[in-house]
Structure formats: structure tokens, C-alpha cells
């Protein structure tokens, strides 16, 4: 009963983390324009994402443009694109593997194999969480470094956008959910030794049909 609850909690956290990774991957708010030098009232806000850049006017209108060339992107954006997509794919793969080994399904009959399958799904979720955590921390470090760099003009300075916070939450859920799945059923791998039953010797009958008197001694 406890192992089943742990599986449900771990799978719920992992699936939620995978969905948040997809949301963070599609949002254009990875880098947002910084409000510095007393410019509180601005005519437009600039959002930079993995796939597009958006300009939000003060009137509420928003114009977005897809990135024309992948090679023209910075190294952190290219890496974030690749690792985020790989993380989402690994999350879907881990979901199918975990469901195949879950206690509520009959895809696999042997309990010890089901436990190992669930553990493999947990490991894949942990890898997916690490894959999405690397570009998030890298991009946040670049944003903070450029923000405090006096050589970068104020118009080029950016702040951390909402997509990075969503990505950090997704990474935490993937890591915690994967660890829970890895330790949800640790005792299922132990195989019990089969019981051996020893049958008593069969009493032999004599030639005349009576049991041998030695059986009663």
C-alpha cells in the first residue's frame, strides 16, 4: 500500500514536471527587458525566448518574430533548445516505462521485473531534470553577468524571465519524483526461496494384501 502511494506521488510530480518543461520551452519569457536607470515608464518590453522574440507595447499589443537562423543564436540559446527538447522527450519516454511497470497495470506480471522497470523510469526522470537544469542555470548566469557588466549598454541588459522560474520548478519536480520512483519499491527485488515439501514414505502392502507388520513397529 505504501509503495503504491509512493508510485502515485512520484509519477504525479514527474508528469507535472514534464508538462512544465514543455510550457517553459514554448514561452518567450526567458529574458525580459530590465528596468534600470530610472526608466520606470517604458514604451515597450522585450521578451527573448528559445524560439522567438516578442515586443510588447504599452498599449497591450504584442508582436513576435521567430528566430530566423539557429546558427545566428548565442551558444546558451542553442544549448537550451537542444537540452530542453531532449528533457521533454525523456519525460514522455519515462512516463511510458513507469506506467508499464506500475502496480496498477498488468503489462508485466512478475513483481520483481515491475519494480526494476519503475526504477528505470525514475532514473530517466532524474536525467531529464538534470538536462533541463543545466541550460536554466547557464542562461541565468549569463543574464546576471551581463546585467552587472558596465560594458554592456543598458538597452541590451536583460532580467530573468518567468520561463526560467517555471523551468526551475519543473526540474525540482522531475528530480524529486524520479528519486521517489527509484525508492518506491526496494523490497520487490528480493526473491523468496521456494518451499520444499517432503512427502512421507508410502507404506507398502504385503503379498496377501495386508500391510507389512514392520510399518507398525
Length of the chain: 217
Mean local confidence (pLDDT), 181-192: 61
Choose among 55, 26, 35: nearest CA to 163. 26
User: Is 205 a domain residue?
Assistant: no
Task: Find, among 86, 15, 74, 17, the residue nearest to 50 by Cα.
Answer: 74
Q: What percent of the chain has pLDDT over 90?
A: 33
Alpha carbons 10 and 118: distance in angstroms, whole number: 10
Answer whether residue 65 is part of any domain: no
Containing structural domain, residue 5:
1-29+73-184
Please list, residue by residue across 83-111, b when 16 or more beta carbons sit within 10 angstroms of its beta carbon and e when fewer do.
Answer: bbbebbebbeebbebbebbbbeeeebeee
Q: Which of 24-28, 40-44, 140-144 has the lowest mean pLDDT?
A: 40-44
pLDDT greater than 80 at residue 200: no
Residue 62 lies in a domain: no
The total domain count for the chain is 1
CA-wise closest residue to 73 among 24, 142, 137, 128:
142
On the question of pLDDT at 142 being above 70, the answer is: yes
For residue 127, name the pLDDT band (cuts at 50, 70, 90).
very high
Residue 213: inside a domain = no
What's the average model confidence in pLDDT over 16-29?
93
Are 59 and 68 in contact by the 8 Å Cβ rule? The answer is: no
Q: What percent of the chain has pLDDT over 70?
A: 80
Checking if the pLDDT of 191 tops 70, the result is: no
- The answer to whether position 171 is within a domain reads yes
pLDDT, the chain, mean: 81
Report whether 93 contacts 127 (CB < 8 A). Answer: no
State residue 209's pLDDT score.
Answer: 52
Output the domain CATH number for residue 93.
Answer: 1.20.140.150
Residue 53 lies in a domain: no
In a domain, 196, yes or no: no
pLDDT above 90 (res 136)? yes
Amino acid at each position: 500500500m505504501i509503495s503504491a502511494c509512493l508510485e502515485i506521488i512520484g509519477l504525479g510530480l514527474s508528469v507535472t514536471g514534464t508538462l512544465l518543461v514543455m510550457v517553459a520551452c514554448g514561452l518567450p519569457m526567458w529574458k525580459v527587458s530590465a528596468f534600470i536607470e530610472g526608466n520606470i515608464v517604458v514604451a515597450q518590453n522585450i521578451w527573448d525566448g528559445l524560439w522567438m522574440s516578442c515586443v510588447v507595447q504599452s498599449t497591450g499589443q504584442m508582436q513576435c518574430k521567430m528566430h530566423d537562423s539557429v546558427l545566428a543564436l548565442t551558444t546558451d540559446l542553442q544549448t537550451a533548445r537542444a537540452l530542453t527538447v531532449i528533457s521533454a522527450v525523456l519525460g514522455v519516454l519515462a512516463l511510458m516505462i513507469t506506467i508499464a511497470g506500475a502496480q496498477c497495470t498488468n503489462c508485466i506480471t512478475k513483481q520483481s521485473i515491475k519494480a526494476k522497470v519503475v526504477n528505470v523510469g525514475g532514473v530517466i526522470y532524474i536525467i531529464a531534470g538534470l538536462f533541463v537544469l543545466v541550460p536554466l542555470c547557464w542562461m541565468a548566469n549569463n543574464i546576471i553577468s551581463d546585467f552587472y557588466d558596465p560594458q554592456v549598454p543598458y538597452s541590451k541588459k536583460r532580467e530573468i524571465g518567468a520561463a526560467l522560474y517555471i523551468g526551475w520548478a519543473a526540474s525540482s519536480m522531475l528530480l524529486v519524483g524520479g528519486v521517489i520512483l527509484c525508492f518506491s519499491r526496494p523490497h520487490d527485488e528480493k526473491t523468496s526461496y521456494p518451499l520444499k515439501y517432503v512427502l512421507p514414505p508410502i507404506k507398502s502392502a504385503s503379498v496377501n494384501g495386508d500391510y507389512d507388520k514392520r510399518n507398525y513397529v
